[in-house]
Structure 1
């Protein structure tokens, strides 16, 4: 007998779960729109060549590719060693590559500075495990056409506003710049050809510590003097006095030699975020060893943090070189993605529920016309209404309705009118 389970790494959502997800999405959409972003939609598939153009980082290896239509067995055998000959399309593995293609296609009809929302599923051939799925939802906002620090600040302010509206206050953003990272590696003495691998190891700093990173770099055969310089810098004596985000904090966290314009850009982001929040300190933390693995980042990078969990709840960065791959000229672009699957697990059940919802528990002999008239009247008043025939286990029936998000109930007999309905709370 065929399995009735969803494919590995993919999930079904029961009504209560789906309703909760939609409530969270509605809040995110509303806050993003309030900040001037407009929602777009792109196809779930893109051309194979575009998805494997070297701009998607390791995600390209996780793409689900679609077999060309009409290939017979001989054609498949002949092309077995060439995936590009077997496939011409693939499921999108993120929303950034499709956005770059969308902008290149529709640029003439878009404003000079375009602020987009994309909320849609993506697919990656991950190894399924807790918190990691093969199909999941991404919530992205991006700004295309603005190279200034204002763009990063707008994204950060909008994203913090969205999570605060979900009752996840006290969120903060870790921030860095890939140009600062590259300058540090240059100061330490890592040759250019070693740096991609060095960054992969440095990205583990939070997990294995400075000594662990240094040991792994030595095992990888990285330049010994550069590893020593990195380790000495990370383990240097530092003041324990906390500093607010700003130039002093940033320069104290960096070695000499990082370009002034990179520091100025980071400072500008903080000043703009602080101004948007009425002058209070920006909830930003400069992290000189924040890496983020996507190879297309060209400048500022950031991750969303919350004190309730040890992992990030989203992130993003500037990818000024990607759109130029399609247009032949670079266009500044920066994006922020909320990790929806992680966020939704933190939002309390029922958060955002403000709708009127009623279960009408009726006897078997109540005429259908009366039931539908009562239901239609409540719906016209703005309520969400479910009809349930009375069972022996009324308590179980009501418990299921409460689990599905209903808040009140009323019993209906053959003579009940709208004025007779006695709405009682569930639970």
Structure 2
């Protein structure tokens, strides 16, 4: 968990403002949910491994004897917990307010979440998530809307050239069945296949054999991975999808993926984007770890980094746990903590800021009158008492994002100030 100095906080807020504005432009409405949820909901099995990282809140009023008696049962000790993502709270929110929401609801959630991670670079125990979700739409339009809005947001942040790796959990399940893996061993097989980018096909095959996976199925998987594949360019579409899958893949799954590509391509045809360019890459072995995904899954990639900047997928079964009937739902989360480090500072922000360094004998009324005048002109203004070490004062102001300064003496006005650059 981190503190943020003023310059860092201002930078984060500028990025968040762009994200909020772009999501709103695409028709998403922002909601807010409590930082805590019921323990039973957070540990219902829909959060995957994140449930193990949840911060739980001790029940109020327990005495020493009660704590000792329930020491081996966390559910008896706690009744609430800090949210570890925004999807579980959203499912509860939708189930609670469905009657007050439109039949197809497009939500934005931008808020901190908490996980008991081991402290290490890039892993935080408190971090910001930026989620957009669509509930009530089972068609490929929902995925396309999420992808277009997310890519547009990155463009607005100056991170053009992003693409989305896309797959479908139904494709993965069908392929594993096609190779011959039993349903019981498929979760473990997926854990190994998820390492494909790191250990390559040879490493995956070796690990599957070490795990004791069905020998014939591993042989079939290995044979498929070694098949000859031509390197011709093929844009995202039916040909690309079928080319990367075994024969006889279900037509409805292919049609769903192709429909997403066609919609994204149409939406991305603007004056600044090459007509017909589809920023989608089909990856039949993209897994994503969350077990609640039921269909399309995707990850956001950018050529400037070798890690994903976000992702999401369809989770049609989650809300049904609260309502008793399935509701189609799909979401996309931008990795804010990763993106904020890539965004360049806006120069115009600093150009409209000034530090007024005043002598101690300047009347407060004069200072505030000058400040009010500059603020009315649209400037960001800070008052600082002049010190012996003026250089250190100005260096700090520059580090905080200010671009200019002026010395204020008794009797000065905003019109008489001599404004100088800080750098």
TM range (shorter): over 0.9
Contact 1:184 1:257 in 2 (8 A): no
Q: Take 1:329 and 1:420, find their aligned partners in 2: how far apart are those partners?
A: 70
Find out whether 1:366 has 2:362 as its counterpart.
yes
The residue aligned with 1:148 is: 139
C-alpha distance after superposition, 1:60-107 (max 9, x if no partner):
111111000000011111111211110000000000000000000000
Contact 1:66 1:90 in 2 (8 A): yes
The residue aligned with 2:272 is: none
Q: Of the candidates 51, 59, 72, which is equivalent to residue 42 of structure 2?
A: 51
The residue aligned with 1:222 is: 213
Q: Take 2:349 and 2:148, find their aligned partners in 1: how far apart are those partners?
A: 25
Contact 2:350 2:402 in 1 (8 A): no
The residue aligned with 1:4 is: none
Q: Of the candidates 324, 328, 337, which is equivalent to residue 328 of structure 1?
A: 324
Kindly state the Cα deviation for residue 351 of structure 1 after the two structures are TM-superposed: 6.3
Q: Take 1:385 and 1:193, find their aligned partners in 2: how far apart are those partners?
A: 64
> Post-superposition, which runs of at least 4 consecutive aligned residues in structure 1 deviate over 4 A?
none
The residue aligned with 2:155 is: 164
C-alpha distance after superposition, 1:356-379 (max 9, x if no partner):
211111122211111111111212
C-alpha distance after superposition, 1:43-68 (max 9, x if no partner):
00000000011111111111111000
Q: Of the candidates 336, 340, 343, which is equivalent to residue 339 of structure 2?
A: 343
Find out whether 1:64 has 2:55 as its counterpart.
yes
C-alpha distance after superposition, 1:279-327 (max 9, x if no partner):
4221000000000000000000000000111100000000000000000
Q: Take 1:352 and 1:79, find their aligned partners in 2: how far apart are those partners?
A: 58
Q: Take 1:310 and 1:316, find their aligned partners in 2: how far apart are those partners?
A: 18
Using structure 1 for the length normalisation, give the TM-score.
0.96
Q: Take 2:223 and 2:291, find their aligned partners in 1: how far apart are those partners?
A: 27
- Pair 1:407–1:99, CA change in 2 (3 A): same
Q: Of the candidates 267, 275, 282, which is equivalent to residue 276 of structure 1?
A: 267
Q: Of the candidates 406, 417, 426, which is equivalent to residue 413 of structure 2?
A: 417
Contact 1:324 1:331 in 2 (8 A): yes
C-alpha distance after superposition, 1:14-64 (max 9, x if no partner):
111111000000010000000000000000000000001111111111111
Kindly state the Cα deviation for residue 108 of structure 1 after the two structures are TM-superposed: 0.5
Q: Of the candidates 22, 26, 33, which is equivalent to residue 35 of structure 1?
A: 26
What is the RMSD computed on CA atoms of the aligned residues?
1.1
Q: Take 1:280 and 1:54, find their aligned partners in 2: how far apart are those partners?
A: 41
Kindly state the Cα deviation for residue 352 of structure 1 after the two structures are TM-superposed: 7.1
- What is the number of equivalent residue pairs in this alignment? 418
Gapped regions of structure 1 (runs ≥ 5): 1-9
The residue aligned with 1:398 is: 394
Q: Take 2:379 and 2:265, find their aligned partners in 1: how far apart are those partners?
A: 41
The residue aligned with 1:6 is: none
Find out whether 1:195 has 2:186 as its counterpart.
yes
Question: Which structure 2 residues correspond to residues 152-301 of structure 1 after superposition, within 5 A?
Answer: 152-278=143-269, 279-301=275-297
2:340 counterpart SS class: helix
Contact 1:355 1:384 in 2 (8 A): no
Kindly state the Cα deviation for residue 394 of structure 1 after the two structures are TM-superposed: 2.0
Q: Take 2:389 and 2:179, find their aligned partners in 1: how far apart are those partners?
A: 72
Which stretch shifts more, 144-153 or 347-356?
347-356
Q: Take 1:25 and 1:96, find their aligned partners in 2: how far apart are those partners?
A: 19
Using structure 2 for the length normalisation, give the TM-score.
0.97
C-alpha distance after superposition, 1:165-184 (max 9, x if no partner):
11111000000000000011
Find out whether 1:97 has 2:93 as its counterpart.
no
Q: Take 1:425 and 1:274, find their aligned partners in 2: how far apart are those partners?
A: 46
The residue aligned with 2:97 is: 106
Q: Take 2:384 and 2:47, find their aligned partners in 1: how far apart are those partners?
A: 50
Which stretch shifts more, 264-273 or 405-414?
405-414
C-alpha distance after superposition, 1:213-247 (max 9, x if no partner):
00001000001111111112112111111211111
Q: Take 2:384 and 2:145, find their aligned partners in 1: how far apart are those partners?
A: 48
The residue aligned with 2:377 is: 381
Q: Take 2:336 and 2:323, find their aligned partners in 1: how far apart are those partners?
A: 31
